[in-house]
Amino acid sequence: MKNANDKLHMDKKKYTIYQIDAFTNSKFKGNPAGVVLNAEGLSEAQMQLIARELNNSETAFLLPPDDDDCDGVIRYFTPTIEVPTCGHATIAAMYAKAMEEEIAPCLLYFKTKIGILPFEIRKTGNRYKIVMAQGDINIEAPLSEENQNTLLDGLGLNHEDMDPRCPIQIASTGHPKVMIGIKKRVTLNHLNPNLTRLKALSNIIHCNGYYVFTLDSNEQDILTHGRMFAPAIGISEDPVTGNANGPLGAYLIHNKIVDTKTDLFRFKGKQGEKIGREGIVEVTVKVIDQKPAQVKIMGDAIVIFKTIIEIP
């Protein structure tokens, strides 16, 4: 006869979890993300607890399709809240899925909180690369002078540090970020922001992410360098941010900071140097009538570990 402990063990479901470094092909670089490949059966509370336990900036949960319009559902959780979309966690999730299922190159459609998005899996030799189409582009008017002054104070910047070509404004392809262009890379790498002030400002401007970037690059194939802070959602500094570099591409075109004479604008953004987690986001922006129309990001990834957990 089976005892109570045997029955409890039999009732537990096993979940496959990956830890993936995204936007890099070197371990312990780029942006780490958790991925739960078979999240069906987990409650929202359990997803949040797993994200808190893994303690990455985001963890992605893959669920079966809920209708005939998609190949699956994907949800994203920081250690404290659910967010509508996430670039690096998407790269990680599709990479983990491709590795686990040995997927041939294909296009998958996953339902997110901002709609159904196409995710492309590419393969060269034995390595995968993931392309993510982002959501609708939205670029707001520049922040008010009062909010700009509060922001600069929180970042430890002054007006002389700012790139005059770059208005401080919120840009989004599904998860808004404040775009803050500065003149010098050395200034970027010396930032030591007051996270409490930035968190308080988020409640006023209704935007949780602050992306500080510069066009001051000495690397031929790198256009921008950046750092991203999001203390309002529990992220002091995000290593490499797809949902910042993607809308940055649209922002650069919108403000005519880069050439828009062609119908495609491509660039590479580098992030994570200051915290030793360098990664590169490859951005493509479709341009129609010299305006940004669609953003895609692409990146490498690498597996750090795979494990199984049991949850009743």
Check whether 9 has a pLDDT greater than 80.
no
Q: Which residues, in sequence order, are bridge partners of residue 162?
A: 182
The C-alpha atoms of residue 262 and residue 150 are separated, in whole angstroms, by 37
Q: What is the pLDDT of residues 179-189, one digit of tens each?
A: 999 999 999 99
Mean pLDDT of 190-204: 98
- 310 a catalytic residue: no
pLDDT value at residue 5: 55
Give, rounded to a whole angstrom, the gap between the first and last alpha carbons of the chain. 21
Express as a percent the part of the chain with pLDDT over 90.
93
pLDDT digits (tens, 9 = 90+) for 16-48: 999 999 999 999 999 999 999 999 999 999 999
What's the Rg (C-alpha) of the chain?
20
Is residue 3 predicted with pLDDT exceeding 80?
no
Bin 149: left if φ > 0, else alpha if -120 < ψ < 50, else beta: alpha
Q: What burial letters (b/e) apply to 182-195, b meaning 16+ CB within 10 Å?
A: bbebebbeebebeb
For the chain, the farthest-separated pair of C-alpha atoms sits apart, in whole angstroms, at 77
What is residue 312's predicted lDDT score, i.e. its pLDDT?
83
| Phi, psi (rounded to 5 degrees) for 285 | -120, 125
Residue 6's pLDDT band, with cuts at 50, 70 and 90, is low
Mean pLDDT of 152-172: 98
The pTM score is 0.93
Instruction: Return the beta strands (E) in 69-222 as ranges.
Output: 72-77, 82-83, 106-112, 115-124, 127-133, 138-142, 169-172, 177-182, 209-214
Catalytic residue (choose from 58, 237, 278, 282): 58
pLDDT tens digit string along 241-287?
999 999 999 999 999 999 888 899 999 999 999 999 999 999 999 99
| 239, amino acid identity | P
Q: Which residues are bridge partners to 211 per DSSP?
A: 179, 228
- Mean pLDDT (the chain) is 95
- Above 80 in pLDDT, residue 165? yes
Q: Which residue shows structure tokens 């305006």?
A: 291
pLDDT of residue 19: 98
Q: According to the model, what pLDDT value does residue 1 have?
A: 47
* Alpha-carbon span 263 to 93, nearest angstrom: 30
The 10s digit of each residue's pLDDT in 42-92 is: 999 999 999 999 999 999 999 999 999 999 999 999 999 999 999 999 999
Measured CA to CA, the distance from residue 282 to residue 277 in angstroms comes to: 16
The whole-number average pLDDT for the span 210-228 is 98
